[in-house]
Structure 1
Amino acid sequence: MAFGVTKQELAAWKHSVRSGKVAFLTHFWYDRRFPQYNTVTKAACSDRSRLIEWGLSYGLRETWIHEERYYPHFDLIGADEFRILQEEGELEKLLKLRSRAGNDHERMI
């Protein structure tokens, strides 16, 4: 479940992904394996080869792709999440969520 995302943001992300664009959806998240992180960004693209190429440009492995029927994606967390969103010009949503959670920049990475 994606907390901190509006229905409109989710719909826009799905539309972009299904259109073959690499799109980002950042939301609150909890996973016992990674208790130090409270956000995740799904970087998705319906064009799997484009997603693979995009991921390789950031050092992401093809085997890390989550295979969902219409929304194959990488889960970005921690330092990779911050770095990639910054380079993609998509950092604003992460900063807003972190601000709402009361986290400072140092804890983001």
Structure 2
Amino acid sequence: MAFGIKRQDVKDWKRKIDNGEIAFLTHYWLDDRFPECKTVTKVGCQDLDRLATWGRKYGLRREWIHHRKDGYSHFDLLGERQKEILTQEGLVEHIWKI
């Protein structure tokens, strides 16, 4: 279940994806499968080759992309790996939510 996110944040994320950018969206999230994780960062891009190439530099596999019919396919980043990648990307505004 997602919460603690503004509609405008989702709109901005989708706009960046639509423009072919690598887009980041971090929000609070609860899932019984991952009880130790309280947030998730969705990293999306309309160009799946570009997204896969971006993910490869962090050890993410192409098959881990969550494919969505609506065009907003993305990687889900969780836990320590999430924090490591956000730090390397210089996205401190996302890290404070973790």
Is TM (by shorter chain) over 0.5? yes
CA contact (8 A) 2:86 2:94 kept: no
Kept after mapping to 2: 8 A contact 1:82/1:91: no
Q: Give the corresponding residue for 1:38.
A: 38
Give CA deviations for 1:8-60 in whole Å, capped at 9, x if unaligned.
11110000011111100000111111100110000000100000000001100
Write the distance in 2 (CA, Å) between the matches of 1:31 and 1:2: 9
Moved over 2 A (4+): none
Match of 1:82, SS?
Answer: helix
C-alpha RMSD over aligned residues = 1.1
Q: Which has the larger radius of gyration?
A: 1
- Structure 2 contact 25–42 (Cα < 8 Å) conserved: yes
Partner of 1:10: 10
1:48 paired residue number = 48
Identify, as 1 or 2, the structure richer in strand.
2
Equivalent position of 1:72 in the other structure: 73
- 1:27 lines up with 2:42 in the alignment: no
Runs of at least 5 residues in structure 2 that lack an aligned partner in the other structure: none
Structure 2 length-normalised TM: 0.92
Percent identity between matched residues is 47
**How many residues are paired up?**
97
TM-score (norm 1): 0.84
